[in-house]
Amino acid sequence: MREIIITVATISSISGVLAFLLSLANKTIGNYGEKTVTINDEKDYIVEGGETLLSALIEENIFIPSACGGKGSCGYCKVKVLEGGGQFLPTEKGYVTEEEREQGIRLSCQCKVKENMKIEIPEELFNVEQFETTVTKMEDLTDKIKLVRLEFQDGKEMDYKPGQYIQILTPIYKESFEEIYRAYSITTPPSSKNAIELFIGYAGGICTTYVHDYLKEGDPLSIVGPFGDFQYREGDKEMVMVAIGTGMAPIMSILRYMAEKGIDRKVTFYFGARTRSDQYMMDELEELKEKLPRFELKLCLSRPTEQCNWTGEVGRVTDLLEKFEENGENKEAYLCGSPPMIDAVIPILKDKGFKEEDILYDKFE
């Protein structure tokens, strides 16, 4: 027993010393002082050195897209670094191509401000705002997906395009000790300026846990947006949409927009789920057929049970595409869902003649 106590005490002492040294390092070695970040050769911002570029910009109310909350797992927070930024990091390699690297593209969540920097970002990011909202509706769509309606406070409105997304600022709560941004696609059409709706699936993460276990109607919620290049593209090409799970969210925004505007384009929406209980919004999708005469919905289940009483297609959305899609000429695709699903769909579409520039996608991390 004595040896165990001595061992525990020794480990605790070592841990305490390491914690002290780490704290000391952060205050001395990691203290870079104030640095200047120049954006687009026009605007200078004085920021605290040592932070990631993403965090430093957020403190200046400049919001760079980030679906993973700055964890380096989505690759969305790219900026062009003209000066400063330090060495390119191994954590950036999987998300920044060699061509982009040569152009100075970096992940702002990995790049730290240790010296004065000059960067370039799209001008539209200066129009991204933080909004205060109130939760006015929460509804279970499936056992894992909730519909969340947010109304903007103080008469504010948000201009956005069908297919874009916002970021929720998840507050500190029982299971999280820091504020975290997470991205969720808007499901409503742009005509809904004073309120938006989201489909939020439970994934065990900080934000989804907060939404599913703690958030309730009447609560305030801060969001930032709008973001995203994945959006409805004007034209007359036939549209092919593919989604699983909450990937339906931006698709719904686009379809609702088209229905409101009376846009008469041929649309085929392939939606995959595991069981019948994982299908949702089916009633509205059927109603959209009346407003969009050339809209076709194709469904499949990958794991139907006897209780599903399912007589439709069995398999994954890739199976649906292989079976029903023939020629990708003069078509454009909108893909939303998990990275593995999108990575599996893209080669199929290319094999069927879809041009790379006509394949739009939004990977849900």
Note the pLDDT tens digit of each residue in 118-155: 999 998 898 899 999 999 999 999 999 999 999 999 99
Placement of tokens 């670094």 in the chain = 81
Note the pLDDT tens digit of each residue in 272-309: 999 999 999 999 999 999 999 999 999 999 999 999 99
Neighbours of 182 (CB within 10 A): 22
**Do 137 and 217 form a contact (C-beta atoms < 8 A)?**
yes
**Domain spans in the chain, listed from the N-terminal domain onward:** 34-125, 128-227, 238-363
Q: Which one, of 69, 178, 196, lies nearest residue 131 by Cα?
A: 196
Alpha-helical regions (H) of 52-177: 53-59, 98-102
Evaluate if residue 81 carries a pLDDT over 60: yes
Continuous segment of H or E residues that includes residue 288: helix 282-291
Mean pLDDT, rounded, for 20-30: 48
In the CATH hierarchy, which fold is given to the domain comprising 128-227? Elongation Factor Tu (Ef-tu); domain 3 (2.40.30)
Strands 267-273 and 295-301: parallel
- According to CATH, what is the number of the domain 238-363? 3.40.50.80
| Cα angle 21, 25, 30; round to 5 | 165
Predicted local confidence at residue 74, as pLDDT? 84
Predicted local confidence at residue 173, as pLDDT? 94
Structure tokens at 202: 């439970």
Q: How far apart are CA 169 and CA 126, in angstroms?
A: 18
Predicted local confidence at residue 68, as pLDDT? 78
Look over the chain and give the mean of its residue pLDDT values, rounded to a whole number: 90
Note the pLDDT tens digit of each residue in 173-225: 998 888 889 999 999 999 999 999 999 999 899 999 999 999 999 999 999 99
Q: How far apart are CA 21 and CA 27, in angstroms?
A: 10
**Do 141 and 199 form a contact (C-beta atoms < 8 A)?**
yes
HSE-up of residue 220 (Cα within 13 Å, Cβ side): 6
Q: How far apart are CA 198 and CA 246, in angstroms?
A: 9
**Do 361 and 231 form a contact (C-beta atoms < 8 A)?**
no
Predicted local confidence at residue 6, as pLDDT? 46
Q: What homologous superfamily is domain 34-125 in, according to CATH?
A: Beta-grasp domain (3.10.20.30)
Mean pLDDT, rounded, for 33-42: 93
pLDDT-derived band of residue 32, with 50, 70 and 90 as boundaries? confident
Evaluate if residue 314 carries a pLDDT over 70: yes
